[in-house]
Structure 1
Amino acid sequence: MIGYYAHHHGAGHLTRLQAIAGAMNEDVWGLSSTPAPAAWTGGWTQLARDDDPDPAALSADGDPTAHGVLHWAPRGHLGLARRSAQLANWVVEEHPRALVVDVSVEVAVLARLCGVPTVVVALPGARLDRTHQLAYDSAEALLAPWPRGTHDRDWPSAWTAKTWFVGGISRFDHLSPSPPVVPPSTHGRTVLVLWGAGGRTTTAADVDAARAATPTWTWVERVPGVPGDGSIWEALASADVVVTHGGQNAVAEVAAARRPAVVVAQPRPFDEQVATARAVESRQIAVGLSAWPSADEWPDLLERAISRGGAGWAQWSTGHGAAVAAAHLRTVGLPSPLPA
């Protein structure tokens, strides 16, 4: 059995957990501060929260970085102590052969201190700080849900040598992309605005201004996981252009659908979404922006996305990312063969 820790912020970590677990031929035990997903049938440990009641107050008074060594370990927080005990007890009781960490440096280090090999999910952005180095250096392997050469160009060679570059991982990878929508004219085209669960700074007024500046386009907004919001896959398949934030899960879903896209970064730690927007722009996969543009830029941006098309997403996602990750995971934590 292997474990998989999924961070509670947003929905992408849990979605990736379910995709990889579905491709495994052995039990996967989930660990997270959130409850198990409705369709989850494996073991699950709901960890105590370490960020309540007020993360801002904890940051001000609790020295959460331990003098710059860690990312989040506030002093005197009972929830942090409880989740650490839960993780250690899980190791003792369940005997996992490995733990996938998606993502938390503190969870990765604690698991390794308990003798469990770790596979750390490597995210985009500036990850060369001393804290990330601790998790990445101590990991058995790194799992990159993006293509080789995208975010690893300034990495130490030791990281690259142990990284599985599997490309985007989406819950829609088993579906076949629809052919490009070819409208009869420049009228009646649709923009799908795809948000995520991790929050955004783009306002309704920003979207309304973009809509007003592109009167021949119909703008539709979707938030994955919102009841009554309809099928995200159907919305992707019917959109002429998708405007999405730069989160890994959203980008992987657009890639699975092979849709023309504008990827607009939202503020995140370590410039994660900015790095992804820059990557899709530099590879000419989609239009990538580091911030929401002014309204008068949208007509040209949508036309640029149409001209680039969606075929370039094949560089980002093969459709087999979860299966490839699962194949690698089957070898982690097994005893090394004895020399002949």
Structure 2
Amino acid sequence: MTAPLRALTPAAPIGYFVHHQGRGHAERCAAIVNALPAHRPVTIFCARGDIFPRMRAGVDIVVIPSLFEPTGAEVVQDFTAQPDTLHCAPLGWPGIRQAMGTMAAWFMTAHPALMICDVSAEVAQLARICSVPHVKVLQHGQRSDPGHRAAYDGAAGLLVPSAACLAQDDWDDGMRAKTCFAGGLGVDTALPDRDAARGRLNIAADQDMVLVLSGGGGTGFPSAPIAVGARALPDSLWLTVGKIARDWHATEPANLRHDGWVDNVADYIAAADCIVASTGNTPCQHVLAAGKPWVAVPEWRYFDEQVEKARVLHQAGVAHAVPGLPSSVQQWRAAITAARDNHDPARQQACVTPDAAGKTADWLEALIDRLWPKTATPIMTESRPAALAET
């Protein structure tokens, strides 16, 4: 018996897996979801429900166990080597079974139009195995391994939250043909007036200021090398915002101030004359939009994500990349000088896509229309296989 036909309506939902580490994944999820048509339901799967900005009506957040962190309930010793096609698939984790089962059950009952994966190669492959088309967020890094390639090759589309000029050389033509580039996606890149920002921060208009912007996705920059930088440029005011790992041996001069987590990071960026920042998604988009001289310092991430991002930023002439925080006064002076001398604000700002969220939402809707034509689509409506139903 042929399976009955059911038309996929315009209201078919989108599923969205969001990695809970850092802020970038949740921020771009919210931006995309809020830009999608109001009639498009979205169900988000994430290990945390408290990391998302405000979202429109019609969005559900389903909290699932983390796919990456043990809970103490794991009882099976991993007695086999992990295959190259997977990145994080230990044996005996009930949390992984619960998370994957929750998503698979939703696939079966919701009949989604699309699954967006940001990011997990395993979740992307789960969607494909369950016959659900998926969009895979493509991040920088050394990701030519079989696990990543399976996720990319099986994707209906790839979404890159940066500009096309920052594409890696190893992203082949097949990948680029199905990629939406959206620089600045998920980041509010609007900045206040420089003088007004300096007034709020109590910084003189003629004071040279170096901002060290430390993200939340890792342990934060260590304080000792930043102190060396402040000593290298004693006439500059050095301010740090974000997470800083304090070193007991750091000798901090009077021109260095740590302000920690702040709600007005835009004031600091607008006020800065030069910025030292990692190459994580959020700081990257902030600095590019601001058009400021930038010493880009990659932090350790899986698959050399920030190392590769720093390389393409340097290659594109929008940042001066160094392998790590400079370790001497001379190295700091050279890095800051290079960042300022080679500064091209117009080239930096061109890396930010106007209305990146709107462009992405339009691309997703067009992809859904292409995947699901207006004609009916076959689905099974019976719990029994068709062969059994005929008996």
Q: What are the residue-to-residue correspondences of 1:118-197 with 2, within 5 Å?
A: 118-173=134-189, 175=190, 178=193, 188-197=207-216
Distance 1:303 1:158 in 2: 40
The counterpart of 2:367, out of the listed 309, 316, 332, is 332
Cα deviation 1:59-99 (Å, max 9, x = unaligned): x9537973222001110100000001111122233332111
Which consecutive aligned stretches of 4+ in structure 1 deviate over 4 angstroms post-superposition?
Answer: 176-181
Distance 2:344 2:264 in 1: 22
Gaps of 5+ in 2: 1-12, 199-203, 244-258, 376-391
**In 2, are the aligned partners of 1:177 and 1:256 still within 8 Å (CA)?**
no
The counterpart of 2:70, out of the listed 28, 43, 53, is 53
Distance 1:186 1:228 in 2: 24
Cα deviation 1:34-76 (Å, max 9, x = unaligned): 1142624521111112333379xx9x95379732220011101
Q: Cα gap change, 1:324/1:3 in structure 2, threshold over 3 Å: closer, same or farther?
A: same
In the alignment, which residue of structure 2 is the partner of 1:223?
Answer: 242
In the alignment, which residue of structure 1 is the partner of 2:26?
Answer: 14
Distance 1:313 1:179 in 2: 18
Cα deviation 1:295-320 (Å, max 9, x = unaligned): 32222322332331433212321232
Name the SS of the counterpart of 1:259 in structure 2. Answer: coil
Length-normalised TM-score, structure 2:
0.77
The residue type paired with residue 211 of structure 1 is A
In the alignment, which residue of structure 1 is the partner of 2:337?
Answer: 303
Cα deviation 1:232-251 (Å, max 9, x = unaligned): 11111111111111112220
In the alignment, which residue of structure 1 is the partner of 2:350?
Answer: 315
**In 2, are the aligned partners of 1:148 and 1:165 still within 8 Å (CA)?**
yes
**In 1, are the aligned partners of 2:27 and 2:53 still within 8 Å (CA)?**
no
RMSD: 2.9
Distance 1:65 1:230 in 2: 45
The counterpart of 1:198, out of the listed 217, 224, 245, is 217
- Alignment: residue pair count: 331
Cα deviation 1:143-192 (Å, max 9, x = unaligned): 1112225334223322121111222324214x2575799x9x99721111
Cα deviation 1:108-135 (Å, max 9, x = unaligned): 1111222221000100011111110100
Distance 1:206 1:136 in 2: 38
Q: % of aligned pairs identical?
A: 30
The counterpart of 1:28, out of the listed 37, 42, 45, is 42
The residue type paired with residue 215 of structure 1 is P
In the alignment, which residue of structure 1 is the partner of 2:101?
Answer: 85
Length-normalised TM-score, structure 1:
0.88
In the alignment, which residue of structure 1 is the partner of 2:325?
Answer: 292
The residue type paired with residue 373 of structure 2 is S
Cα deviation 1:220-269 (Å, max 9, x = unaligned): 11128x99623111111111111111112220122222222111001111
